[in-house]
């Protein structure tokens, strides 16, 4: 690996100044589970590596039922799933946090890094989209907020401009009678990249019979993670039924433009989009009704 | 630029200082500069868990940490597992259950299993398997490792009773 200068700023303004002012390539380091691998393989180069783990704003993990959830860009997965209040309020996030690599990777990997790395198969992105999460971005011109679905632009590319960094993700507060679920298909239980991933969040009426609203996000079926906007909108005001779920799953399937690679041929991925969207919706509906749906750590029926 | 960084840290309870290049991984520094060769290199890309260490109570792969990042941290490596009184129950149970063959994966499994038991002294088999999914073993088929961890957990619970609050 080429050598670089390691920078560990302690304030956001210092970080932005360094990012904006440095000559050469400055790479932002969160958990390093993508960056260190890419630098070592020579896929990326760096003259400077700027660690965000000393920035207070990036370490914030704040949840208040009325305000929603703020996940700082340096917060690793293990902090998210070990926080009982967050796990109860946002179970769909835990579905993703508990399957990104193994425990060692989860000790370091952040949702912010998962998002900034902009892999089409990133496991946290579909569920962040489903939850309606926003990115809080700091830069030389001040802060801006961007919806997660608008953040990735191509494989490995995102909308950040020179001098900008992701500070945090913000999720809106959880409505009554709502639930969410993320799942992916891989040929084994752990430690693999999604062949397809689907995340759904739903809000039902008080009786749990009608959809008030729904949002669906997809992974590994296009050059960027996708927001299946229409598929979710089709459910608003509809009865919770096999037919309505099937209609949404077909709509999600229709926007998928997968490629064939070593993990799966395109037509198989296309098939999986429908299957997984349906299952993500069913899991979200069950949780909205207060039923138990296990994540990767929990055993069935626990 | 490219000057060496001066890092102060605590490894297995002992205060240490070293110089390193920013690009060096913690794994490299542990093995090549500090002589702590118990931590193994398997893949060097986060997939095998042979380099598992615990930093500030969090289990991580040392190959995916820059050594400069551990400034001020508390690091636990396999060298810290046994005490002067003898082997740790995990090590003892690995021996009794033939949980290793070639042994390259063993330090990583032991450190990962220690982190599990620190965090959850009474894991189910499912929890053990889930926790150890980031550790690869080409020899044993895992089953004997899982048995050993479950047995060591029993020993740990017996010796720490009456149960107080632990962390
Ligand atoms: C063994 C292994 C298994 C894995 N399994 C999975 C998996 O199952 N699912 C999955 O989705 N991913 C997986 N990954 C990939 C990786 O762990 C995740 O993408 C992780 O979430 C990245 O987060 P990080 O904090 O480690 O990011 P880093 O590696 O620190 O950063 C990733 C990228 O984002 C940039 N970046 C980071 N933070 C910021 C910021 N605040 N502002 C601007 N740019 C930033 C970095 O410069 C870099 O380009 C795996 C990786 C390994 C090594
Ligand atoms: S050597 Fe670090 S995970 Fe394989
Ligand atoms: S004992 Fe040989 S790899 Fe595990």
Is the per-residue pLDDT at B167 higher than 70?
no
Residue B22 belongs to domain with CATH number: 3.10.20.30
Handedness of CA B42, B62, A45, A101 (dihedral sign): positive
Across the interface, of A3, A41, A297, the residue whose CB is closest to B23 is A3
Q: CA-CA distances (angstroms) from residue B144 to B83, B95, B110, B147?
A: 24, 10, 13, 5
Strands A48-51 and A26-29 turn out to be: parallel
Q: In A, which residues are within 8 Å of B1 by CB distance? A: 4-5, 47
Q: Which of A4, A50, A111, A117 to mutate to test the pocket of ligand 1 (most atoms within 8 A of CB)?
A: A117
**Residue A200 in contact with residue A96, Cβ under 8 Å?**
no
pLDDT digits (tens, 9 = 90+) for A117-149: 999 999 999 999 999 999 999 999 999 999 999
Q: Look up the pTM and report it.
A: 0.96
Distance B136 CA to ligand 3 centre (A): 8
Q: What pLDDT sits at residue A76? A: 98
Q: What does the buried/exposed string (b/e) look like for A277-300 if buried means 16 or more CB atoms within 10 Å of the residue's CB?
A: bbbbbbbbbbbbeeeebebbbbee
Q: What is the pLDDT of residues A14-24, one digit of tens each?
A: 999 999 998 89
Last residue of a domain, one of B80, B97, B115: B80
CATH topology assigned to domain A178-294: Enolase-like; domain 1 (3.30.390)
Interface predicted TM-score (ipTM) of this complex, two decimals: 0.94
A102·B135 Cβ contact <8 A: yes
The structural domain count of chain B equals 2
B95 and B125 belong to one structural domain: yes
| Residue that is last in its domain, among B50, B80, B110 | B80
- Please indicate, yes or no, whether residues B71 and B116 belong to a single structural domain of this protein: no
Residue B8: which H helix or E strand, with range?
strand B5-11
Cα–ligand 3 centroid distance for B102 (angstroms): 5
CB contact under 8 A, B65 and A51: no
A189 close contact with B: CB closer than 8 A: yes
Residue B117 lies in a domain: yes
Is position B167 within any domain?
A: no
Residues B58 and B29 in one domain: yes
Q: Is A9 on the interface with B (CB under 8 A)?
A: no
| Cβ atoms A58, A73 nearer than 8 A | yes
- Range of B118's domain? 89-160
Classify residue B53: in a domain, yes or no: yes
Instruction: Clarify whether residues B100 and B134 are in a common domain.
Output: yes
Q: Is residue B162 predicted with pLDDT exceeding 60?
A: no
Average of per-residue pLDDT values in chain B: 94
| pLDDT score recorded for residue B161 | 59
CATH at B150: 1.10.150.120
Put simply, whether B113 touches A (Cβ < 8 Å) is no
> Could you give the C-alpha distances from B41 to A24, A117, B63, B135, in angstroms and in order?
32, 25, 8, 12
Ligand nearest to the CA of A33: 1
- Stretch A263-273: mean pLDDT, rounded? 95
């Amino acid at each position: 690996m080429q050598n670089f200068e390691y920078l560990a700023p302690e304030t956001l303004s210092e970080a932005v100044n360094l990012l904006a002012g440095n000559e050469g390539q400055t790479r932002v380091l969160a958990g390093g589970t993508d960056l260190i691998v890419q630098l070592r393989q020579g896929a990326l180069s760096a003259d400077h590596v700027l660690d965000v783990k000393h920035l207070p704003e990036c370490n914030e993990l704040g949840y208040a039922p009325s305000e929603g959830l703020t996940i700082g860009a340096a917060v690793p997965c293990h902090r998210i799933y070990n926080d009982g209040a967050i796990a109860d309020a946002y179970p769909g996030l835990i579905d993703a946090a508990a399957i990104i690599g193994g425990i060692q990777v989860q000790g370091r990997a952040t949702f912010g890094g998962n998002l900034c790395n902009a892999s089409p198969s990133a496991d946290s992105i579909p569920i962040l989209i489903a939850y309606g999460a926003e990115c809080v971005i700091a830069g030389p011109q001040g802060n801006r907020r961007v919806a997660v679905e608008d953040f990735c632009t191509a494989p490995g590319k995102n909308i950040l401009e020179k001098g900008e960094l992701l500070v945090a993700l913000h999720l809106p507060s959880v409505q009554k009678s709502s639930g969410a679920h993320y799942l992916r298909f891989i040929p084994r239980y752990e430690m693999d990249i999604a062949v397809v991933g689907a995340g759904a969040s739903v809000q039902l009426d008080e009786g749990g019979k009608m959809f008030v609203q729904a949002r669906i996000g997809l992974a590994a079926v296009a050059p960027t993670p996708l927001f299946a906007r229409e598929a979710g909108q089709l459910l608003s005001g509809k009865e919770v039924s096999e037919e309505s779920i099937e209609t949404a799953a077909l709509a999600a399937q229709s926007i998928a433009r997968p490629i064939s690679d070593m993990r799966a041929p395109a037509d198989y991925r296309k098939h999986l989009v429908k299957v997984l969207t349906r299952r993500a919706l069913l899991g979200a509906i069950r949780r909205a009704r207060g039923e138990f749906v296990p994540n990767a750590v929990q055993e069935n029926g626990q | 630029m490219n000057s060496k960084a001066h890092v102060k840290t605590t490894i297995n309870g002992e205060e240490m200082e070293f110089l390193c290049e920013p690009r060096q991984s913690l794994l490299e520094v542990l093995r090549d500069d500090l002589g702590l060769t118990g931590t193994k290199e398997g893949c060097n890309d986060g997939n095998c868990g042979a380099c598992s260490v615990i930093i500030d109570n969090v289990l991580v792969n040392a190959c995916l940490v820059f050594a400069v990042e551990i400034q001020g941290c508390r690091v636990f490596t396999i060298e810290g597992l046994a005490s002067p009184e003898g082997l740790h129950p995990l090590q003892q149970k690995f021996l009794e259950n033939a949980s290793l063959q070639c042994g390259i994966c063993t330090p990583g499994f032991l450190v990962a299993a220690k982190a599990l038991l620190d965090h959850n002294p009474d894991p189910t088999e499912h929890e053990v398997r889930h926790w150890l999914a980031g550790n690869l073993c080409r020899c044993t088929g895992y089953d004997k490792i899982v048995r050993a961890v479950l047995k060591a957990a029993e020993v740990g619970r017996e010796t720490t009773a009456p149960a107080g609050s632990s962390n």
